[in-house]
Chain A
């Protein structure tokens, strides 16, 4: 699609982007506010960041969250990639419809249902709630997001390349590792990042499945937000936004570079051929 970029188009893009970004910008600005009141500007200060690093409970929660996110994203990436392979390559196996349903349903299933149902499972099998149950719960719902991301890349992959590698003597696993994986790697990486941020972000599922000693950062933020808006929470949020934004920017720059490099390689190959 193209055509003229009318004033209407420009206005709707500016309005839409303003709507998306203004609240975040305001939140960041007020994290540097001198005053305890979040809505009255009283001068620039970084004291809330200082207060943050002396807040043991908050740091503990951040550490729990980080470990859960790293572990769950990694396992979810492996499982999600396998699920994507199963969905794209094997059009016929017993129970495929059920499998497809189970992969897509968690994408839209309300958090309260996933959280509650997993908790009841853990209680039924007598599993102590805590770090491990949160991690298992996060793996389960984020693997489906990974599967969808990886699948979108796999559908455009030419499977005969992998078959060729097998004909040339590779084992199936080896052929996958050497041929398919490098091609789908960008999707696998963005799947990992998506799983990581989903886990970092989750309040509801973690609340249902957490136990004593396993309070995640969103749970901590939530309980403080209920008591009122404070610049300290704004500071935590600003740091989190900063980390995520940096990660996404780096990933997109690296991705773009790879694309450009690939195009150059293709051109070169075409010229040599």
Chain B
């Protein structure tokens, strides 16, 4: 009976994830090596699984044209590179704003902390789409930011911010800020302040103590925060689509366009496979960090 309970506990979510998470990836792979054809569904599979003996032979027959096409076309290559660059710099900007915020929160009085924590979590619950949309009205040429800057006399002509990469950076930093703040805050909150005092007693300058103790001990939180921002930002669609311009190249948007506007399922699948490969290293890092955190919690 006990075994029965245990088996079901593992079995039900396991099967669910196998069928609805892992299997779809295998299908994406299969379609990415298929040939595009107009029809329904719009592809011809080149890769049917019949037996293990046939499997090996067929590996040689895989149609890699889609991947060759991706590699030969500068548009796709640039889209991957620019997604990674945009995601990387947005992660750095998010860290630059998020760390001082988390640090300030951790140093607040114990009665204030839960309120500040709540305030950081609350935007995370409100719709992502809404938060991105809110920036359109602010960044438009006749928007509030330009009105403010004109009124202050900082600029004489409205700036073009919306539909540029700058707007994409603002959007990513804004949307993912809670993801950066929360892990850093949770490591800083646990940090024993007497360690910093001890470092200072032993002759460290306040800045030296900050660098050698605070940053060092907050490193797992910083790493987790950076991964939580970087990984989804690489594949982001909504932000580049709504805030970015025609010159903003991001792979999530390219994939969307290939699928919905061009109806090219095989290229979309190949794009998804390559995106996954690009993200494998950071995802594995993230998973290890999660597993470690779980072990530490025990």
Number of A-B residue pairs, CB cutoff 8 Å, is: 280
Q: Does A204 lie within 8 Å of B127, measured CB to CB?
A: no
Q: Does B20 lie within 8 Å of A17, measured CB to CB?
A: no
Expressed in whole angstroms, the minimum distance between the Cβ of A147 and any Cβ of chain B is 8
List 5 A-B pairs, Cβ < 8 Å.
Answer: A13-B104, A15-B97, A124-B41, A136-B20, A203-B129
Q: Does A248 lie within 8 Å of B122, measured CB to CB?
A: yes
Expressed in whole angstroms, the minimum distance between the Cβ of A198 and any Cβ of chain B is 9
- Max chain A CB contacts within 10 Å: which of B9, B128, B130, B275? B130
| CB of A164 closer than 8 Å to a CB of B | no
- With an 8 Å Cβ cutoff, the count of chain B residues facing the other chain is 103
Q: Which residue of chain B lies nearest to A25 when distances are taken between CB atoms in the complex? A: B134
What 4 additional pairs, Cβ within 8 angstroms, besides A116-B259, A229-B140, A244-B125?
A5-B108, A15-B100, A23-B135, A90-B9
Closest 6 CB pairs of A and B: A110-B235, A16-B101, A117-B24, A12-B100, A9-B104, A172-B5
Q: Does B12 lie within 8 Å of A24, measured CB to CB?
A: no
Within 8 A of A (CB), among B260-289: 260, 265, 268-269, 272, 275-276, 279, 282-283, 286-287
Q: Which residue of chain A lies nearest to B24 when distances are taken between CB atoms in the complex? A: A117
- With an 8 Å Cβ cutoff, the count of chain A residues facing the other chain is 98
Q: Does A5 lie within 8 Å of B235, measured CB to CB?
A: no
* Interface locus among A45-53, A150-158, A181-189, A260-268: A150-158
Residue B174 contacts which of A6, A23, A102 (CB distance < 8 angstroms)? Answer: A23
Expressed in whole angstroms, the minimum distance between the Cβ of A195 and any Cβ of chain B is 12
What is the 8 Å Cβ interface bit string for chain A, positions 89-123, against chain B (1 contact, 0 not)?
A: 11001010011111111111111110011101101
Expressed in whole angstroms, the minimum distance between the Cβ of A77 and any Cβ of chain B is 12
Q: Does A87 lie within 8 Å of B294, measured CB to CB?
A: yes
| CB of B252 closer than 8 Å to a CB of A | yes
Q: Which residue of chain B lies nearest to A118 when distances are taken between CB atoms in the complex? A: B24
| Residues on B with beta carbons closer than 8 Å to the beta carbon of A161 | none
What's the Cα separation between A101 and B128 when bound, in Å?
Answer: 25
